[in-house]
Amino acid sequence: MIPIEAVEEFQEACDEIHLLIKYSEKNSKDFKKYATFNKAAVVLLCAKFEAFLENFLEEYAFYHLNKSSNLSVDRFIYNHIVDCIINIIELQKGKPDKRKESILKLAVLCGEVEVRPISNYDFDPKLKFGKHGQGEVERLLKVFGFVEYVNLDSVKSFFITFNSLNSIRNNIIHEDATPSLTHQNVKSYLNSVKVFIEGLALVASEKMALAL
């Protein structure tokens, strides 16, 4: 299995969440402290998951671009890069020199002459601003070729849990709410996220091994 740094970084980041859970459990008889630690753990978990997703996709895409040519690169990533260049060209209408440069890059990428590596091409692994839900996570994963993973029954079940977690996070941040959370709930959410990431990493590693 090809090691993925973003996964290792998430695992290290989980130490902070475990610490909050530990303090929550120690203060279970003090409602204010207990609720505060649980709320902090949920918000941190969501933030760490979003950071993982973006870092993971960036690392995954760059690996393919560095290992593959324009003729062999994963088709999902290829199509995404084409879309990115087209979007840039649209924004360069009043800048003919830059527009020409982008058009030439597109021509090389789509040409029949093999070019490698193609790591100088841009891609966008970022969540859309203000978007945190299932739809946005699925969109990004599908763009980078994880359609089959997203459609697994186990992943569909994960998103039910994820939607619950994300809803709690939104209520905490936007409504200043104090939900009825236990440290066991937080542990359960964290474990679900971990299982999802482990499965995604396994699929990614298999795809990365095919890059040529």
Cα–Cα distance for residue pair 84/92, rounded to 1 Å: 13
Cα–Cα distance for residue pair 166/164, rounded to 1 Å: 5
Condensed to tens digits (0 to 9), the pLDDT of residues 58-79 reads 999 999 999 999 999 999 999 9
Section 47-59 average pLDDT? 97
Condensed to tens digits (0 to 9), the pLDDT of residues 143-155 reads 999 999 999 999 9
Q: Collect all residues with Cβ–Cβ distance below 8 Å to 58 and sequence separation of at least 6.
A: 6, 123, 125
Q: Is the confidence at residue 94, as pLDDT, over 90?
A: no
**If you search the block for the tokens 């994820």, which residue do you land on?**
162
Predicted TM-score (pTM) of this structure: 0.93
